[in-house]
Structure 1
């Protein structure tokens, strides 16, 4: 964990949550030493995480919360987690979007980070069911048109209709009908959970169905997911791992997960790490 005592509260809490999940629990005195902040600051951070349902406070520290498979955190709750990992993943994934291509960008906070990176890719056609993702492009384009910002890649953005979920994605029959009629060069897909047995999963049944249509309509599926999604299983699976071409994740992916992925169909891209040298 970082020794920077000037970390923003959101960054500190993301680091604390990662430590809780990785180790199965932490003590307040350990966090004060590692983060170089006061006991009171750590306790406030744990209180905030507990209110969000991210950890369970125990005497002297905190332990992970076992989330039910149908629990769906909201966009704001997820947006402060794994910030640096999401940025690394977004930069790596953006390199897979060719100028002039038609891409689909599903919802989620990692897709939101990716949208900012895609602003510089020229002449994209972007189909998304994420209100937040669409706003990234619309805001940049308005700023460029008024002379208040750089040209935002001149993307054509199509926002599907549908019913809004807690993660600010649009799902249901309206979204499904729009997606079924289209064909994408690449789908960039964030996920709630990913595992060998369950594949890609989400706690939202309607979102699962919309994601199935996304996967069927794409020539290539690129999953963008930080290491905390590995081993998580939501209520409904919507794709198997052999339907995925690439998984872009971060360096926090544990060694056992990397070993499992070596036997699986998707290409594994670990953002921020050099690719392994090919055997001679």
Structure 2
């Protein structure tokens, strides 16, 4: 990782957070070797991240914060995590959308990444409760980049509702809008996913909005990086048998892939430019 010595502080701290979450903890000595910076620099970064509540310092290193089931991270806090995994997942998921279809995208940083990939799919009708996702299509259209593939650019419908920390719109207004529509495919982001709890979120209103999304979709595609497996939020809103496809990244351990395969119709592992079906 020879280039890491030239990373900006924010980029370096994002890498530290990613490693702490992926490995469940890391030592200062490991971070100094990985990032090729001094012990003092690493400790300063850990101090900053600990003050932000992003991790917990322990003797000689750091571990993830034991999150409350009601804790809902903001969009910016999540956007710097698992960037490469989200990019790979987005490319694989977007390949499931066909030109001219009606697609729905829930809120979240992974669905935000999917939205960027969907710009290349022509003539979509996109329904979303995510302000960030809607902005992807709006900004691309304004810049003359929407509908980069042949055909007209996407028609985008943004539901109303009450804004959450992750910039999603939820509540009765969003629920009513979604319930009146029908989608060919839903790209659904989640806070957590497990066999016991299914799909979950720390936000009760978002859980209800997600239920309406699922009821209105012919195909439900969950997009979630490997760190979401085994995480449980306050409210479950769907069981695994309501999911048609889970698109995740290669960081998911083999044992977890086997367990998921016993409960899901289809598991796609995004590895590079294309996804590979799990055995």
> What TM bracket, shorter-length normalisation?
over 0.9
- How many angstroms apart in 1 are the aligned matches of 2:146 and 2:17? 36
State the Cα distance separating 1:38 from its structure 2 match: 2.1
Match of 1:203 in 2: 202
Q: Is the 8 A contact 1:203 1:236 kept in 2?
A: yes
Query: Partners in 1 of 2:229 and 2:90 — Cα distance?
Result: 17
Return the alpha-carbon distance in structure 2 between the equivalents of residues 125 and 207 of structure 1.
22
* Residue 87, structure 1, aligned to residue 87, structure 2: yes
Judging changes above 3 Å, is the alpha-carbon distance between structure 1 residues 276 and 194 closer, same or farther for their aligned structure 2 residues? Answer: closer
Unaligned runs of 5+ in 1: none
Evaluate the alpha carbon distance shift between residue 117 and residue 61 of structure 1 in structure 2; reply closer, same or farther with a 3 A threshold. same
Secondary structure in 1 matching 2:236: strand
In structure 2, the partner of 1:25 is 25
TM-score of the superposed pair, with normalisation by structure 1: 0.92
| TM-superposition CA deviations, 1:8-55 (whole Å, max 9, x none) | 544433332233234332221211012212223322332332233221
**Alpha-carbon distance in 2 for matches of 1:24, 1:3:** 24
**1:234 Cα offset (Å):** 0.1
Structure 1 distance, partners of 2:91, 2:41, is: 32
Alignment partner, residue 262 of structure 1: 261
Aligned equivalents of 1:277 and 1:165: distance in 2? Answer: 34
Aligned CA-pair RMSD: 1.8
CA contact (8 A) 2:82 2:225 kept: yes
Q: Which moved more, 1:47-56 or 1:103-112?
A: 47-56
Q: Aligned-pair distance for 1:58?
A: 2.0
CA contact (8 A) 2:119 2:146 kept: no
Residue matched to 2:106: 106
Count of aligned pairs: 273
- Contact kept in structure 2, 1:241 and 1:266, CA below 8 Å: no
Q: CA deviation at 1:61?
A: 1.5
Other structure's SS at 2:221 match: strand
* 1:275 corresponding residue in structure 2: 276
**What is the TM-score when the length of structure 2 is the normalising length?**
0.92
TM superposition shift of 1:150 = 6.2
Aligned to 1:61: 61
Q: Are the equivalent residues in 1 in contact too, given 2:105–2:188 (CA < 8 A)? A: yes
Distance 1:151 1:267, change over 3 A: closer
Residues 117, 39 of structure 1: CA spacing in aligned structure 2 closer, same or farther, 3 A cutoff?
same
Q: 1:225-271, CA deviations, whole angstroms, 9 ceiling, x for partnerless residues?
A: 00000000000000110010110011111122111012112311110
2:87 counterpart SS class: helix
Gaps of 5+ in 2: none
